[in-house]
């Protein structure tokens, strides 16, 4: 049996994590995204199992891999990278992993909120530009503020805990309410509209569905306080990018922190948003910690073995 990590070399800094696969077959590891179908065939044309973390699989690529039995995404949200229905129609099992980086992303959301609230990026730029001034750099404290957590799955729950530990009043929105959060942190669940109206900071932790795609639009953004902050380390598709851009340049929203984009690498429109002075923009690194990285490989290997 042959296993191919077609683009995941960047994740493999501990080769021993792949030993369970080596025990039952041949393992090949490649760096970088294949340039097209021909390179996909060169790397993995004879593979029974392909693991991937970065690339988009087209239907043409799937057609060119007749031996393929399992396609393992080293992450969450495989539907954004491959047409799962088409793959399964060809007898290819498409697998996902969940929870490997929940704490990493929750910590990142908290760090983003703190950085925005304390004006850390612009303060850093002041000194890098050989200037000494505190003009425009007055920050806000998380303690005593209201933080709205939209989506309280594993990442949202951990985010709520961290903001509560900082002394914030946490409110939440989710169709499935967490009894744990209500009982242990006195968190109140409210409507989406109420969360956007009341929160000083809104942090997004929803999965994208047909019902909530682009749900964060002009109507919701216009409800926010003018000094409020929006954090999106979930999925870009939750937010109407044009409406967010307009809210930020008009002064109707004080700032935003963004780690996810409609297209990755971003389009010119996303770069335009990222370059605003009241925006912190990062290249989708919320999950990217040593601990989460190791967890992702361990979980992907276990998922592959279980599928076989």
Choice among 43, 157, 205, 235 that is catalytic: 235
> Residue 257's Cα: distance from chain center in Å?
12
Token output for 138: 């007055």
- Note every long-range contact of 281-284, with CB atoms under 8 Å and residues 24 or more positions apart, other chains counting: 281/257, 282/112, 282/257, 282/258, 283/259, 284/259, 284/260
Question: How big is the chain by its Cα radius of gyration, in Å?
Answer: 21
Q: Are 191 and 148 in contact (CB under 8 A)?
A: no
- Identified catalytic residue from 93, 218, 269, 284: 284
Q: Is 218 a catalytic residue?
A: no
For the question of residue 43 being annotated catalytic, the response is no
Asked if 264 is an active-site residue, the reply is yes
Q: Which two tokens stand for residue 186?
A: 């006195």
Closest among 94, 108, 30 to 62, alpha carbons compared: 94
Q: Which of 93, 194, 264, 269 is catalytic?
A: 264
Beta bridge partners of 147: 170, 201
11 closest CA partner among 291, 283, 234, 305: 291
- Catalytic residue positions, numbered: 235, 264, 284
């Amino acid at each position: 049996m042959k296993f191919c990590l077609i683009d995941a070399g960047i994740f493999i800094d501990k080769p021993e994590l792949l030993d369970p696969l080596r025990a039952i077959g041949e393992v090949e590891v490649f760096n970088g995204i294949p340039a097209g179908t021909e390179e996909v065939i060169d790397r993995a044309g004879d593979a029974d199992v392909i693991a991937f973390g970065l690339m988009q699989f087209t239907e043409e690529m799937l057609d060119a891999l007749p031996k393929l039995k399992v396609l393992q995404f080293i992450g969450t949200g495989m539907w954004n990278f491959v047409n799962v229905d088409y793959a399964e129609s060809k007898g290819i099992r498409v697998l996902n992993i969940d929870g490997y980086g929940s704490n990493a992303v929750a910590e990142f959301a908290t760090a983003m909120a703190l950085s925005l609230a304390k004006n850390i990026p612009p303060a850093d730029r002041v000194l890098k530009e050989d200037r000494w001034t505190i003009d425009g750099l007055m920050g806000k404290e998380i303690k005593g503020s209201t933080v709205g957590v939209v989506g309280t799955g594993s990442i949202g729950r951990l985010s709520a805990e961290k903001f509560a530990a900082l002394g914030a009043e946490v409110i939440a929105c989710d169709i499935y309410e967490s009894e744990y959060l209500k009982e242990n942190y006195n968190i109140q669940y409210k409507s989406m509209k109420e969360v956007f109206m009341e929160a000083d900071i809104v942090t997004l932790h929803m999965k994208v569905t047909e019902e909530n795609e682009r749900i964060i639009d002009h109507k919701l953004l216009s409800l926010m306080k003018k000094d409020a902050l929006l954090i999106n380390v979930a999925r870009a598709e939750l937010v109407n990018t044009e409406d967010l851009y307009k809210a930020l340049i008009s002064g109707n929203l004080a700032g935003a922190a963004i780690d996810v984009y409609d297209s990755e690498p971003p389009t010119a429109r996303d770069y335009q948003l990222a370059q605003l002075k009241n925006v912190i923009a990062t290249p989708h690194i919320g999950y990217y910690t040593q601990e989460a990285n190791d967890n992702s490989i361990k979980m992907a290997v276990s998922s592959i073995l279980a599928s076989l």
